[in-house]
Chain A
Amino acid sequence: MDGHTDTPAYDGHLGETGSIVDLGLPAPGGAFDEHHPPDAALIGDCVHCGFCLPTCPTYVLWGEEMDSPRGRIYLMKEGLEGEPLSDAMVSHWDACLGCMSCVTACPSGVQYDTLIEQTRAQVERRHHRSAADRALRGLIFSIFPHPRRLRLLRGPLRGLQRTGLDRALRRTGLLERLSPQLAAMESLAPRLGRPMPLPEHIRASGERRAVVGMLTGCVQGAFFPGVNAATARVLQAEGCDVFVPPGQGCCGALSVHNGREAEAQRYARRIVDTFEAAGVERLVVNAAGCGSTMKDYARLLADDPAYADRARTLAEKVRDVAEVLDELGPVAVRHPLEVSVAYHDACHLAHAQGVRAQPRRLLAGIPGLELREIAEPELCCGSAGIYNILNPEPARELGDRKAANIVATGAELLVTANPGCLMQVASAIARSGRPMGMAHTVEVLDASIRGVPADSLREGTRPSA
């Protein structure tokens, strides 16, 4: 046997060493330009531990590194280092649901939410999408952020013809992609009734404990007006003066989540203008996706000298309805509701805003109500804004997985705090053939405070599959 050489010899295959990313401007020719590229310092926070992997819906589905948050961040780093923007790269960022489950899981505090938004804005500006993809995205954004147009989508799509979008819709396949969701929404309709506009000012019952503004939202307002009404009633019952300024429009969440930065900023300015004028202490939001975006207005409008400070001030007032009610503590009497409830964490509430305990406390405070936990709670239901329209297959798989976990709880009523989740899960549960009632957290509180029997929740929301 021969002896060893004393110094360890390398075969030259061990590659480069050093820290994961160099700070500085994006390398020329790379995926990003200098207008808010994904922040190299934030990318540097990622220590590559992988704790985000099992919480990421697409990694759970496909098991590939570049479809995990860690991989997507790595692609950003590559882009900064000079790797050109390619269809392959973009496809993995597109596949992200933006559920922010990874943000919760990350021990190093990586701000993936900021990174993916920065990246998406660059992609929308710099990446050339296929004609079909562009058409589909254009259409979505010509409908969703517009409460009035959305309302037209309700009913058997009659209104669409009037908007002249009908033919274009069919060509892009949007209709087919929307139809399961629409069917689910329509199945909820009997209880929803006709949208009733809320009065601009609702006075607190009893002693006034707070003055709050209320966002009515687009999807929430169009499809779940009952949720808005319940929100207003519960706030009122708990001693809030509620202002509902007209003409508030969309909060810009869908645009932010899809990289449509300028559009998002326009919406955000309008919201800032509107609610500044209302002079409220708190701005209450009952849709998780809207809340998480509005809490982040300071960053969205940071470059706008006329709005930066005002946006920060307003953002600090934004609260999810569950946060506000939990902070205030109950004064209105809760009547018993004998019902078992599975509470589903909306990603933009649990992960993006860290609101998990408050809705559970509120629900648990209702006499007779039994709260059940859903398995794989960190996993997104696949709704994710308009993700389920852009990526119907993974969204459906995730929806079915979520539905199975929900059904397995055996609960009578599913409660969640986001219209997107409600629609997505409703269609998945309808597919599962195990119908159950569904409601927003405030609807349950409203029923308890008003002393409405639990059956109204159980039956009224049952989708006709």
Chain B
Amino acid sequence: MTSTDRAGIAAVARRAAELLPDADVITDRARLRTYECDGLTHYRVTPALVVVPETATQLAAIVAACAEHGVPFVARGSGTGLSGGALPHADGVLVVTSRMRAIREVRREDQRAVVEPGVINLDVTRAATPLGYYYAPDPSSQQVCSIGGNLAENSGGAHCLKYGFTANHVLAADLVTPDGDLVTLGGAAPDSPGYDLLGAVIGSEGTLGIATSVTLRLTRLPEEVRTVLVGFESTDQAGAATSAIIAAGVLPAAIEMMDALAIEAAEAAVQCNYPAGAGAVLVIELDGAADEVAQEYDEVERLCRDHGAFEQRLATDPADRALIWKGRKSAFAAVGRISPDYIVQDGVIPRTALPEVLHAIAELSSSSGVRVANVFHAGDGNLHPLVLFDDAVEGAGAAAEEVSGAILDLCIQHGGSITGEHGVGVDKSAYMPRMYSEEDLDTMQLVRCAFDPHGISNPGKVFPTPRLCGEVPGRHKGPHPLQEAGLAEVF
């Protein structure tokens, strides 16, 4: 840290101390270190300062102080991200929203909820359920991940096959811009006039500012939900069944697939009682009006049978359904039970490429000797290969990285994406140029430059190369240190 950095941090810390109780301004090294990684522990950086504001005004004032002193800041919600999006900056401030967790409003008549960014995803649903509503996006970490984090990552979940992502369910957000201004984007009603800046901010991984209040669309709880667990001998069969279901015009709320290794892990973790000896299971959930769900279920059952299902188990009550989902939603962390270390990938492929890509992954796995467990949202082609390794074995980490990278290349080759819901963060920024051209990335940077000309909001994430923004009227103060050091270029 240079002396300029230190002075900047000290100034921000002083400002924070004026605004917040002592306990919420963290400077002690041992405490700071507990914030050094999010859900992806592979990357760790101890932040220079952690602040835990309770109000939007406090948060904005802290960001304004960062802007004034050129101090980078990183936002963090529950710290569950899987791409290192909330990885702190060594010379920067980590702004934690976990104490901003009020559900301000839940309005049935408007089908809306207004929440603070630290509110936990599942708590929105808990608050809406008594009114017959819920919050549809349900990332597997929904019991802990925050709405602010969901907004930053445009989180999906098992049910986004039918209901869409965070971007389809956020109507408005108050955003603290990297200048420290508090501005409202969107509105309680749809289609706010002007550019859809909210659409750009959702999924921007904290690089365009920090949300301090979020207006969410609530969804009517379905009249009927049927969850069926289907056992197949192979992922091929399960994949074919998935395609057949979609081709038949059925749009399930979710179609999830797990292969044998992932089943083993989930079984060890939560005793979810999945069919014994299955090479793959599908968790299929149908929801909607009761009559139609019953009809669709008959059709799904027939299609699964036609494609080789050897066991179909319909959840008989909510507890049963919860257990089926528990197996699926715990799968990532459960892999910790069968392997000391693992990498979670998040590639996406067109659904029809599923069998081909799964074969290629199996090939990669057997040729490299690296085990890969597969858990994925089969309905929308979002793969979560879990690449297993033991870091205590020399070279194992590198071999896993290689397999993991090769899987992403497979996704790109099939016209897919390097990330379906976990975000690019720090982890996959190096892969961005494989998916997008130089021009594509430059164009995205235009948005960044509009919001954050000095590049202080979550720098080093999403984009492979730190870049500086060109002409910014009245804001230029000589060459940026990164530019001087030859580490960045002006464009």
B465 touching A14 by the CB < 8 A rule?
Answer: no
The reply to whether B141 and A11 contact each other, CB–CB distance below 8 Å, is: no
The contact string, 1 if C-beta is below 8 Å from chain B, for chain A 48-65, is: 111101100000001111
Residue of B nearest to A51 (CB): B144
Select which of B23, B341, B459, B487 is within 8 A of A19 by beta carbon. B341
Given the known interface contacts A13-B91, A63-B101, A107-B270, the answer about A2 and B28 at a Cβ–Cβ threshold of 8 Å is: no
Known: A14-B460, A53-B78, A65-B96. Is A20-B41 also a contact (CB below 8 A)? yes
CB-CB < 8 A to B269: which residues of A?
107-109
**A71 on the B face (CB < 8 A):** yes
- Chain A residues with Cβ under 8 A from B23's Cβ? 62, 64
Contact (A18, B118) CB under 8 Å given A47-B336, A53-B78: no
- Docked pose: A112 CA to B78 CA in angstroms: 20
Given A4-B433, A8-B429, A50-B80, A107 contacting B143 (CB threshold 8 A) = no
Q: Kindly list chain B residues whose C-beta atoms are within 8 Å of the C-beta of A89.
A: 30
Shortest distance between the CB of B91 and any CB in chain A (Å): 7
> Given A1-B491, A65-B96, A88-B31, is A18 in contact with B397 using a C-beta cutoff of 8 Å?
yes
> Of the candidates A3, A11, A15, A105, which one forms a contact with B36 in the assembled complex, judged by CB atoms under 8 Å apart?
A15
Q: Give a binary string over B441-465; 1 marks a CB under 8 Å from any A CB, 0 the rest.
A: 1100000000000000001100011
The DSSP consensus for interface residues of chain B is loop
- Closest chain-A Cβ to B93's Cβ sits at a distance in Å of 13
Q: B249 to nearest A CB, angstroms?
A: 36
B304-323: which have CB < 8 Å to A?
A: none
Specify which of A5, A54, A78, A107 is in contact with B30 (CB 8 Å cutoff): A78
A23 contacts which of B341, B392, B429, B433 (Cβ < 8 Å)? B392
**A83 contacts B98, CB within 8 Å?**
no
- In whole angstroms, how far apart are the Cα atoms of A14 and B45 in the complex? 6
Instruction: Indicate whether A303 reaches chain B with its CB closer than 8 angstroms.
Output: no
Asked if A45 is an interface residue, CB under 8 A from chain B, the answer is yes
- Do B430 and A74 touch across chains, with their CB atoms under 8 A apart? no
On whether the beta carbons of B34 and A65 are closer than 8 Å, the reply is yes
Q: Whole-angstrom distance from the CB of A448 to the nearest CB of chain B?
A: 26
Stretch with Cβ within 8 A of A (4 or more), from B179-187, B326-334, B411-419: B326-334
Least CB distance, B463 to chain A, in whole angstroms: 9
- CB closest chain-A residue, reference B265: A107
Chain A residues near B101 (CB-CB < 8 A):
63
Q: How far is the CB of A108 from chain B (nearest CB, A)?
A: 4
Chain B minimum-CB-distance residue to A110: B336
> Smallest CB-CB separation from B464: which chain A residue?
A8
Contact partner of B39 among A10, A19, A48, A71, CB < 8 A?
A48
21 A-B pairs with CB atoms under 8 Å apart are A8-B430, A8-B464, A9-B488, A11-B482, A13-B91, A15-B87, A16-B44, A23-B392, A48-B39, A50-B141, A50-B145, A54-B144, A63-B52, A63-B98, A63-B101, A64-B23, A64-B24, A83-B29, A86-B28, A88-B28, A108-B334
7 A-B pairs with least C-beta separation: A15-B45, A108-B336, A107-B333, A19-B391, A107-B330, A8-B464, A63-B98
